[in-house]
A and B are shown apart, each in its own frame.
Chain A
């Protein structure tokens, strides 16, 4: 009898666990779904300065965060930040832990299989970073060299085209820090991130810009109405100059316009 009771208890705990994992979202009038109908919960890593970084009070600031907040306000919702390690963000959006991710995700086919992308909200590109005294200048020089990248980033794919010695870290900053302290031969990361680290005193130097990339907001695939709404909002923010203003604030240049 007691055993049966215990078994029942354990089973119900497991059932509750699974149910809570796929919690219902709230449906809005226009058909889009949000975790909470008054809030726009957007994810970022907080480990990608100056796009997202942590303040002393553990809130996040940065370009991505301000874009996320601008989108929320434009839609008349309360912006809510959600910090998730970069590699877990796509999974987090898929499983409904955040409504969207404004976290500098590069649009690529592998990710597109699992989530939807908005229109690009900025344009950037992966760049090779080395120590100042390095001989590596272009991608050809990377052959046989050890390259460090952030886990779950597209840079690992980029790197694997040129070398098979790849080291992965939890964040781009940690990879750059390791490079700066004399480890590995190069890091491939976003050029703005690298430039910022360089300004902060890391002993690194930017080399070749490998290609251009488009960064977009990540949304779940089963929520097309929210995607439509976010795209409309982004267009409004482009037109009224909000995106340009945020970009100038962080980078002294407008990275939100498509380069010629």
Chain B
């Protein structure tokens, strides 16, 4: 294990390059979360649509994505389809992460939507709202609140999963740490440093999710 002074010295010396890498990690995470929520919502709605063929499409998607490791999906997007067209590395990683997140988020949202009491839907309908309007105004807001804790969990997972972009040469946190570590024959120091950066990002993310949760809890008071 490296000594404390050595650790802090390297931490200080490398902060420029790590902050840049942290920005890339953050970009990957944010883009993949936003795309993931959209994908997740679409497939969750397909799943609860009660139309057999749409349900099947959703099932197949979730099965394919949950059934294969993320690193395999990243490599398929990066190398596998390069014969057809060349996806830039940022998008290969972001889309793989988004598709991956989307599958889990769709299951989270589906569970949340189905947990909303059936009476809520019936009440909306009896007030003369259309099905879509009931879903949008009554069901989804309640479902989203219930989905928030598992969603926050998923966001943290996707932040850490973004480290897999290192394998397609993206200079995000993990790649920078392992490259510098092996160049300086000092892997452990750099891995400990990168752990600090991830902890910082997760703390930030937790803070945001908690804030949103508080905001949405207003109706409980």
Contacts and interface: CB of A to CB of B under 8 A. Distances in A.
Given A175-B169, A183-B82, 10 more contacts: A88-B187, A110-B185, A148-B169, A151-B178, A152-B183, A167-B171, A170-B167, A178-B78, A181-B79, A182-B86
A177 B185 contact: no
Given A151-B178, A151-B179, A181-B82, A167 B169 contact: yes
A91 B183 contact: no
Nearest to A111: B185
A147 to B, nearest CB: 11
Contacts of A152: 179, 182-183
Q: On chain A, which size bracket covers the interface?
A: 20 to 34
Given A167-B169, A178-B169, A183 B89 contact: yes
A154 to B, nearest CB: 10
B82 A169 contact: no
A111 B182 CA distance: 10
Nearest to B83: A181
Contact of A87 (B82, B83, B171, B178): B178
12 contacts: A87-B178, A88-B187, A91-B182, A91-B187, A110-B185, A111-B185, A148-B169, A152-B179, A156-B183, A168-B171, A175-B169, A178-B169
| Highest count of chain A CB atoms <10 Å: which of B86, B171, B182, B187 | B182
A216 interface: no
A182 B78 CA distance: 11
**Among the interface residues A88, A114, A183, which one has the most CB atoms of the partner chain B within 10 A?**
A183
B179 A168 contact: yes
A177 to B, nearest CB: 6
A131 B168 CA distance: 19
A151 B82 contact: no
Interface in A164-184: 167-170, 175, 177-178, 181-183
A128 interface: no
A113 B186 CA distance: 12
A182 B82 contact: yes
A84 to B, nearest CB: 12
A87 B79 contact: no
A136 B179 CA distance: 26
A44 interface: no
Contacts of A110: 183, 185
